[in-house]
A and B are shown apart, each in its own frame.
Chain A
Amino acid sequence: DGGITQSPKYLFRKEGQNVTLSCEQNLNHDAMYWYRQDPGQGLRLIYYSQIVNDFQKGDIAEGYSVSREKKESFPLTVTSAQKNPTAFYLCASSLSGAPNEKLFFGSGTQLSVL
């Protein structure tokens, strides 16, 4: 079954701690994305990558970092610099990254601060 797998489903972060959210896809898509969802708001783009070893900042990249060493994987690190990390995080992919392509989403990771 092709799809996007996010792990873990739930994650807790202590003050000053960095945490990493995993995102893997077996759809052979070139482009991958990370979005953040807060209550009452639309999804906001954190980072996206259209090709291995290259990525661009979205609207709210501050306090986050990503890597794209393999086509299948796009992990997101929430650093201690992100002062309000509690949110629902969604990873997505698309075939080539063209603006009008539909996105395929994972099931999300809920991050909370202890």
Chain B
Amino acid sequence: DQQVKQNSPSLSVQEGRISILNCDYTNSMFDYFLWYKKYPAEGPTFLISISSIKDKNEDGRFTVFLNKSAKHLSLHIVPSQPGDSAVYFCAATPLDNNDMRFGAGTRLTVKP
């Protein structure tokens, strides 16, 4: 029962261009959404989050957009850099219990 889906297993973009990673969810009880980044041989690290009361959150080159009606969120990286090459996981959780769900991840490759 995959409540959080990242339908693109991989994405390749040119350095300097925008990277857009997408995530869809099915559970309308999710209130809080997070993105994690994972390099090979390392654990995932937190990147950015957004609450369901907002539709956008920005942190430097990273922006997360939330469309609650469509149950869709996206992570934008502008401009993309080769060091951004990693696997990106989307996660979602309700706020009234500990039930965080993760997507399968999207492998981003940024080419110089």
Binding site for B on A (CB under 8 A): 4, 6, 35, 40-45, 48, 50, 56, 90, 92, 97, 99-100, 102-108
B93 within 8 A of A: yes
User: What residues of chain A lie closer than 8 Å to B103, measured between beta carbons?
Assistant: 42
Q: Give the interface size class of chain B.
A: 20 to 34
B3 to chain A, nearest CB (A): 9
Decide if A103 touches B46 in the complex (CB within 8 Å).
yes
4 A-B pairs closest in CB distance:
A105-B43, A42-B102, A102-B46, A43-B102
A42 CA to B42 CA, complexed, in Å: 16
A102 CA to B51 CA, complexed, in Å: 13
Decide if B49 touches A102 in the complex (CB within 8 Å).
yes
Which of B32, B44, B104 makes the CB contact (< 8 A) with A99? B32
A27 to chain B, nearest CB (A): 13
Decide if B99 touches A42 in the complex (CB within 8 Å).
no
B95 within 8 A of A: yes
User: What residues of chain A lie closer than 8 Å to B101, measured between beta carbons?
Assistant: 42
Give B45's nearest chain A residue, CB to CB: A105
A46 to chain B, nearest CB (A): 13
User: What residues of chain B lie closer than 8 Å to A102, measured between beta carbons?
Assistant: 34, 46, 49
